[in-house]
């Protein structure tokens, strides 16, 4: 209600009511409120006069009324913290403009106009790392999702597509390299030691794909000839000192381009592809058209400084951003609710690529592990949302494992149901039908339906219903027939209850107990709350292997006898199912032991079954070591906590450590024999990656069962390591032990790599995630280390994300871990809100933790909520977590 016009509010009682105003809630934006923008902006020309502390931007927008939209007498141009220097329309200065929450509103009477706007910004003062900012003396941009409005006034939304022409000028000494989207069309020298370059991007794009980089950079260059004969120049731009670590990135880019032609029929569409590595970056990387900007973490790699996992991550992220050129850029999103249209699909594409590069079995297991540790907790907590959300206050909060990773799983299910060839026909149709458009998830589903010949009517529920479905499995056997009884239930999530049954594709196999064989994999599709499926020709009850390859992102609820799990862990021919059987065996045991408790006999029986299964894994000569390494890994504490309605982190941790110690001792000679074998494999030797994985896994068990021996082995592994995988693995184990070698090697590591940002990040992380009983004290000391800074997101994450993921430290009974994360959020929020808000979910899990800790967690969330001037990002996450 408008107070001024309410007669009941007199002068007197307005004063009485003069209590501090309720902090204003950032508005809720709803998917169903989507309206097309009333104006088109077919072209924009920009001029940048570059300076670290002051950059002048002049942009010229060609605008025309959007035919079918309603007649609007104004145009709203988004802005965020911008200083308006001048504005003209059709060459005439405008005076009757107005501002609304940072947006510029201009009167426009005709059907077509030219708007010229000058703004001035201070990149060096931009600590949010959104818009144009300075990093190590260079200038770069990050515009997704809403950063462009921090550069100039513009309809900063993904359904407004424009062609960009950009001219930039600046000091030749400070910024010898000037880059933008598309192709360089002209360059020259200016006055006073300046130079300039003009770039043109022929492909219309939304503002979030704009990028500009200016700095002192060198390139590792290569070429790629496309299937259509286009010769593309490839450059990976870095600081001179980093050049030696860029070969893997260039090679990964070439492989990605080749693969996308072969597997998805997608050809690159410019003569130039630039990648720039930046130290200060909020996320992994950004797919700006023709000019990707990357976190250095996903570009730089060599054997001395990067682990095998780091090499894979570089390859995967380079592929991801490259694949966006079609799934994201050529076909973009209508609005940010459609984010999974580009992200879910592109994650699936990068996963399939990595499967082809690195081997399908292990990659699938890794991807499921990520989904379960990052996405399942979202789905079962206060921040649960569908892969296509219905509302948000701050879009940055929706770059989640749900939108990305569950989004990929949902599209993978379509592929499973269609088969790869028909799925390809669907994606071809999608790209063809929507090229040059801003599309919706619905457009994607429709194209797959039409192209692959599927009926996805019910399947669409995966886009609207949040929560991980639970699938109950029962099996009966009689008269040669097996009857499989499947049920499903989609749990309630905030704002959603009484959900409908989904379409769930499940791959399964029925194993003969004696021969260990099965009669072929089958695909059943569960689409009712309850259904039965029968299979004939079974003289004896078979062993059921279900959700093979993790064909659906669900939780399977079944109670298999532990001898059946041991059977599957040893013999299943589906690698994922084999891994899964091993996980289930351990999860069942730890949950029982840490929950209602097991008596001694129960604990012994549980441990004996796990010992038998792990023993078989350690000695199976037909298994490759990469897969062996996966099978040796115990389920993470996060995943274990996720299995319990209310978890006691202390008890789970104790049970898990106790089990490790038991296994390390019980299988001592098997572990030793294995270590002796893999230790001898040279860095480049046959199966060397697997050998390195197994090596550190053995140390992990030894650390629990025989810390002195483990310290000795790890110190030795560290000292003779000729690569980062072995060195980091050894140091990780040492960091958790209370021995002299721990201090020695931590000092050595720091000295050896001082000045190498990415490796020093590892040094911070290893100490913050360590099993050491004093991890909290270590983190506090590291906070005061001269290399710690709140300004660099990689460094903040290295210390504090690692710490928030360290169950025994973060969940310390005193609540000190919670307090430290809350303090961090409050201190970081004004500097970098996007990064600060990403720490909130760790505290938001309070409902699923035992009551004493839950109260302490809630208390910290309330303390954050009470702070004045919270960012939209943190406000939204905290209020949803308390709500
Ligand atoms: N589109 C990017 C990707 O997934 C994500 C991204 C990079 C991003 N930087 C960001 C999202 C900053 C939000 C804010 O490849
Ligand atoms: Zn992406």
- Cβ of 142 less than 6 Å from ligand 1: yes
**The total number of structural domains that make up the chain:** 2
Residue 301 lies in a domain: yes
Closest-lying ligand 1 atom to the alpha carbon of residue 321? 15
Instruction: Judge whether 700 lies within some domain.
Output: no
129 and 219 both lie in a single domain = yes
Place of tokens 């499947």: 486
Beta bridge partners of 45: 60, 165
In eight-state DSSP terms, residue 738 is -
- Does 288 lie in the same domain as 371? no
| Any ligand 1 atom below 6 A from CB of 833 | no
- What mean pLDDT do residues 226-251 have? 98
The CB of 396 under 6 Å from ligand 1? The reply is yes
Q: Per-residue pLDDT tens for 806-832? A: 999 999 999 999 999 999 999 999 999
Model confidence over 150-208: pLDDT tens digits?
999 999 999 999 999 999 999 999 999 999 999 999 999 999 999 999 999 999 999 99
Is the Cβ atom of 801 under 6 angstroms away from ligand 1? no
Q: Is 343 in the pocket of ligand 1 (CB under 6 A)?
A: yes
Residues 561 and 54: their CA atoms lie apart, in Å, by 69
Query: What ligand has the least distance to the C-alpha of 293?
Result: 1
Nearest ligand 1 atom, CA 395: 13
Please tell me the number of the ligand nearest to residue 144's CA.
1
116, 146, 198, 321: the catalytic one is 321
User: Do residues 330 and 316 make contact, with C-beta atoms less than 8 angstroms apart?
Assistant: no
The answer, yes or no, to whether any atom of ligand 1 lies below 6 A from the CB of 145, is yes
Task: Name the residue of 286, 350, 395 to mutate for ligand 1: max ligand atoms within 8 A of Cβ.
Answer: 286
The rounded Å distance from CA 303 to ligand 1 centre is 27
Neighbouring residues of the ion ligand 2, judged by CB less than 5 Å: 343, 346
Task: Bin 725: left if φ > 0, else alpha if -120 < ψ < 50, else beta.
Answer: alpha
- Cβ(317) – ligand 1 distance below 6 Å: no
Tell me, using a 6 A CB cutoff, whether residue 655 lines ligand 1. no
Say if 277 falls within a structural domain. yes
For ligand 2, the distance from its centroid to the CA atom of residue 242, given in whole angstroms, is 25
Residue 15 has pLDDT above 50, yes or no: no
> Which pLDDT does position 72 carry in this prediction?
84
From 443, 464, 485, the end of a domain falls on: 464
Cβ–Cβ contacts within 10 Å for residue 556, how many? 17
Tens digit of each residue's pLDDT (9 = 90 or more) over 717-767 = 999 999 999 999 999 999 999 999 999 999 999 999 999 999 999 999 999
Same domain, 291 and 338: no
CB 134 within 8 A of CB 65: no
* 140 shares a domain with 284: yes
3-class state of residue 751 by DSSP: helix
Residue 647 structure tokens: 């978890």
DSSP classification of residue 459: G
Whether residue 705 is contained in a domain is answered as no
Contacts of 562 (CB under 8 A, 6+ apart): 585, 588, 605, 606, 609
420 C-beta neighbours (distance < 10 Å), count: 10
| pLDDT at residue 299 in the model | 99
pLDDT score recorded for residue 442: 99
Q: Under a CB-based contact definition with an 8 Å cutoff, are residues 837 and 874 in contact?
A: yes
CATH at residue 392: 1.10.390.10
Q: Tell me: do 358 and 421 sit in the same domain.
A: yes
For residues 69 and 172, membership in a common domain is answered with yes
- Ligand index nearest the alpha carbon of residue 288: 1
- The CA 634 to ligand 2 mean position distance, Å, reads 30
Asked whether residue 179 is assigned to any structural domain, the reply reads yes
Ligand 1 centroid distance, CA of 312 (Å): 19
Shared domain check, 371 and 293: no
CATH of the domain at 226: 2.60.40.1730
Domain boundary (411, 437, 464) is at 464
Q: Report the separation in Å between the CA atom of 668 and the middle of ligand 2, taken as the mean of its atom positions.
A: 44
Nearest CA to ligand 1 atom 15: 286
What mean pLDDT, rounded, does the chain reach? 96
Does the pLDDT at position 540 exceed 50? yes
Query: Do 764 and 803 contact (CB within 8 A), yes or no?
Result: no
Query: Is the shortest distance between the CB of 339 and ligand 1 below 6 Å?
Result: no
Which atom of ligand 1 is least distant from the CA of 404?
4
Quick one: 253 and 366 in the same domain? Answer: no
pLDDT of residue 597: 77
CA–centroid distance, 246 to ligand 2, in Å, is 21
Closest ligand 1 atom to residue 320 Cα is 15
Own/partner pairs for 396-402, CB < 8 Å, 24+ apart?
A: 396/145, 396/146, 396/833, 396/834, 396/837, 396/873, 397/837, 397/873, 397/876, 397/877, 398/336, 398/339, 399/145, 399/283, 399/339, 399/343, 400/375, 401/370, 401/371, 401/374, 401/375, 402/375, 402/378, 402/466
873 lines ligand 1 (CB under 6 A): no
**Ligand closest to CA 343:** 2
Could you give the CA distance from residue 840 to residue 569 in angstroms, rounded to a whole number?
Answer: 37
What three-state secondary structure class fits 523? strand
Asked if residues 378 and 384 have their Cβ atoms less than 8 Å apart, the reply is yes
Among residues 441, 464, 487, the one where a domain terminates is: 464
Active site residue 120: no
The token pair at 549 is 């390859």
Both 206 and 354 in one domain: the answer is no
Our mutation pick for probing the ligand 1 site, out of 80, 126, 140, 142, counting the most ligand atoms within 8 A of Cβ, is 142
Residue 582: inside a domain, yes or no?
Answer: no
Q: Is the CB of 146 under 6 A from ligand 1?
A: no
pTM of the model: 0.97
pLDDT score of 11? 39
CB-side neighbour CA atoms (13 Å) of 785: 19
**Which ligand 1 atom sits nearest the alpha carbon of residue 284?**
7
Q: At residue 793, what are phi and psi to the nearest 5 degrees?
A: -60, -35
- Is the same domain home to 185 and 66? yes
CA-nearest residue for atom 14, ligand 1, is: 144
What's the confidence (pLDDT) of residue 543?
98
**Quick one: which H or E segment has residue 641?**
helix 637-642
Cα separation, 519 vs 503, whole angstroms: 25
214 lines ligand 1 (CB under 6 A): no
Tens digit of pLDDT for each residue in 445-474? Answer: 999 999 999 999 999 999 999 999 999 999
Residue 325 Cβ < 6 Å to ligand 1: no
Pocket test for ligand 1, best of 256, 283, 317, 341 (most atoms within 8 A of CB): 283
Atom 5 of ligand 1, nearest CA residue: 286
Pocket flag, ligand 1, residue 347 (CB < 6 Å): no
589 lies in some domain: no
> Residue 380 sits in which domain range?
333-464
State phi, psi for 143 to the nearest 5 degrees. -105, -30
Determine if ligand 1 sits within 6 Å of the CB of residue 350.
no
User: Would 258 be classed as within a structural domain?
Assistant: yes
Structure confidence by residue, pLDDT tens digits, 337-391 = 999 999 999 999 999 999 999 999 999 999 999 999 999 999 999 999 999 999 9
DSSP state of 466: -
Would you say residue 22 has pLDDT above 90?
A: no
- pLDDT for res 23: 61
Separation between Cα atoms, residue 401 and residue 415, nearest integer Å? 20
Ligand 2: centre distance to CA 407 (Å) = 11
Best residue for ligand 1 mutational test, from 284, 299, 797 (most atoms within 8 Å of Cβ): 284
Percent above pLDDT 90 for the chain: 96
Q: Please give the average per-residue pLDDT across 295-303, as a whole number.
A: 98
Q: Which residues contact 624 (CB under 8 A, 6 or more apart)?
A: 687, 690
Q: Whose structure tokens read 């149901």?
A: 417
Give the model confidence (pLDDT) of 584-609 as tens digits.
Answer: 999 999 999 998 778 999 999 999 99
Same domain for 253 and 162?
Answer: yes
Which atom belonging to ligand 1 lies closest to the Cα atom of 328?
1
Q: Looking at the structure, do residues 298 and 346 belong to the same domain, yes or no?
A: no
Measured between alpha carbons, how far is 8 from 5 in angstroms, rounded to an integer?
Answer: 9
pLDDT, residue 69, reads: 58
Which residue, judged by its Cα, is nearest atom 7 of ligand 1?
286
- pLDDT average, residue stretch 134-147: 98
From 282, 398, 399, the mutation candidate for ligand 1 (largest count of ligand atoms within 8 A of CB) is 399
Rounded to the nearest angstrom, the distance between the alpha carbon of 142 and the centre of ligand 1 is: 8
pLDDT of the residue at 728:
98
């Amino acid at each position: 209600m408008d107070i001024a016009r309410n007669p009941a509010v007199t002068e007197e009682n307005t004063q009485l009511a003069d209590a501090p105003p309720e902090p204003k809630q950032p508005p809720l934006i709803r998917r169903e409120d989507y309206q097309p923008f009333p104006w088109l902006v077919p072209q924009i020309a920009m001029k940048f006069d570059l300076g670290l502390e002051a950059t002048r931007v002049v942009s010229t927008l060609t605008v025309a009324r959007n035919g079918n939209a309603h007649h609007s007498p104004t145009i709203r141009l988004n802005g965020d913290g911008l200083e308006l220097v001048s504005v003209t329309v059709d060459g005439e200065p405008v005076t009757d403009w107005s501002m609304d929450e940072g947006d510029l509103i201009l009167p426009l009477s005709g059907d077509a106009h030219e708007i010229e706007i000058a703004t001035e910004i201070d990149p060096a003062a931009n600590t949010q790392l959104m818009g144009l900012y300075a990093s190590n003396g260079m200038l770069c941009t990050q515009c997704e999702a809403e950063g462009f409005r921090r550069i100039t006034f513009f309809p900063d939304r993904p359904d407004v597509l424009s062609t960009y022409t950009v001219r930039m000028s600046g000091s030749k000494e400070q910024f010898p390299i000037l880059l933008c989207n598309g192709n360089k069309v002209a360059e020259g020298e200016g006055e006073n030691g300046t130079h300039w370059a003009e770039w043109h991007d022929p492909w219309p794009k939304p503002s979030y794909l704009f990028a500009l980089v200016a700095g002192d950079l060198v390139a590792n260059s290569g070429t790629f000839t496309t299937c259509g004969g286009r010769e593309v120049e490839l450059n990976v731009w870095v600081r001179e000192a980093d050049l030696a670590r860029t070969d893997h990135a260039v090679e990964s880019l070439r492989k990605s381009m080749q693969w996308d032609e072969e597997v998805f029929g997608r050809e690159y569409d410019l003569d130039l592809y630039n990648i720039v590595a930046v130290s200060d970056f909020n996320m992994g990387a950004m797919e700006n058209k023709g000019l990707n900007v990357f976190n250095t973490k996903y570009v730089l790699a060599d054997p001395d400084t990067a682990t095998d996992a780091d090499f894979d991550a570089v390859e995967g992220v380079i592929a991801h951003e490259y694949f966006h050129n079609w799934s994201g850029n050529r076909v973009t999103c209508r609005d940010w609710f459609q984010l999974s249209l580009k992200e879910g699909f592109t994650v699936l594409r990068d996963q399939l690529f990595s499967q082809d590069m690195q081997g399908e079995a292990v990659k699938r297991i890794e991807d499921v592990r990520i989904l379960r540790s990052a996405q399942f907790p979202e789905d079962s907590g206060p921040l649960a949302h569908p892969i296509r959300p219905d509302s948000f206050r701050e879009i940055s909060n929706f770059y989640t494992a749900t939108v990305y990773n569950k989004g990929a799983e949902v599209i993978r299910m379509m592929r499973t149901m269609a088969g790869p060839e028909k799925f390809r026909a669907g994606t071809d149709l999608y790209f063809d039908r929507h090229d040059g458009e801003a599309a919706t998830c619905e457009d994607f589903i429709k194209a797959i339906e039409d192209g692959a010949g599927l009926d996805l009517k019910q399947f669409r529920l995966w886009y609207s219903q949040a929560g991980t479905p639970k699938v109950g499995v029962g099996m009966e056997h009689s008269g040669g027939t097996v009857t499989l009884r499947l049920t499903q239930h989609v749990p309630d999530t905030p704002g959603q209850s009484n959900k409908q049954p989904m379409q769930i594709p499940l791959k399964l196999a029925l194993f003969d107990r004696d021969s260990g064989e099965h009669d072929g994999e089958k695909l059943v599709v569960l689409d009712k709350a309850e259904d039965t499926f029968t299979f004939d020709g079974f003289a004896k009850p078979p062993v059921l292997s279900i959700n093979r390859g993790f064909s659906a992102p669900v939780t399977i609820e079944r109670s298999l006898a532990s001898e059946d799990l041991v059977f599957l862990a040893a013999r299943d021919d589906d690698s994922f199912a084999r891994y899964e059987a091993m996980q289930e065996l351990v999860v069942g045991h730890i949950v029982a032991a840490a929950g209602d408790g097991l008596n001694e006999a129960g604990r012994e029986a549980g441990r004996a079954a796990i010992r038998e299964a792990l023993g078989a894994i350690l000695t199976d000569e037909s298994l490759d070591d990469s897969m062996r390494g996966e099978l040796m890994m115990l389920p993470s504490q996060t995943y274990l906590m996720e299995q319990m309605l209310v978890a006691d982190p202390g008890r789970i941790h104790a049970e898990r450590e106790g089990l490790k110690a038991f296994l390390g001792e019980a299988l001592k000679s098997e572990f030793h024999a294995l270590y002796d074998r893999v230790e001898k494999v040279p860095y480049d030797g046959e199966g060397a990656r697997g050998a390195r994985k197994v090596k550190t896994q053995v140390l992990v068990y030894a650390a629990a069962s025989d810390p002195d021996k483990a310290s000795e082995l790890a110190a030795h592994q560290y000292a003779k390591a000729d690569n980062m995988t072995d060195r980091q693995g050894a140091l990780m184990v040492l960091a958790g032990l209370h021995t002299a070698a721990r201090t020695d090697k931590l000092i050595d590591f720091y000295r050896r790599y001082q000045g190498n940002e990415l490796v020093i990040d590892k040094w911070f992380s290893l100490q913050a995630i360590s099993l050491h009983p004093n991890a909290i004290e270590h983190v506090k000391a590291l906070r005061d280390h001269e290399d710690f800074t709140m300004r660099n997101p990689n460094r903040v994450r290295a210390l504090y994300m690692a710490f928030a993921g360290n169950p025994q430290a973060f969940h310390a009974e005193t609540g000190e871990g919670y307090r430290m994360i809350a303090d961090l959020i409050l201190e970081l929020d004004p500097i970098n809100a996007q990064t600060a808000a990403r720490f909130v979910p760790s505290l938001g899990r309070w409902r699923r933790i035992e009551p004493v800790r839950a109260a302490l967690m809630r208390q910290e969330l309330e303390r954050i909520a009470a702070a004045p001037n919270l960012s939209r990002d943190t406000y939204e996450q905290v209020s949803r977590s308390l709500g």
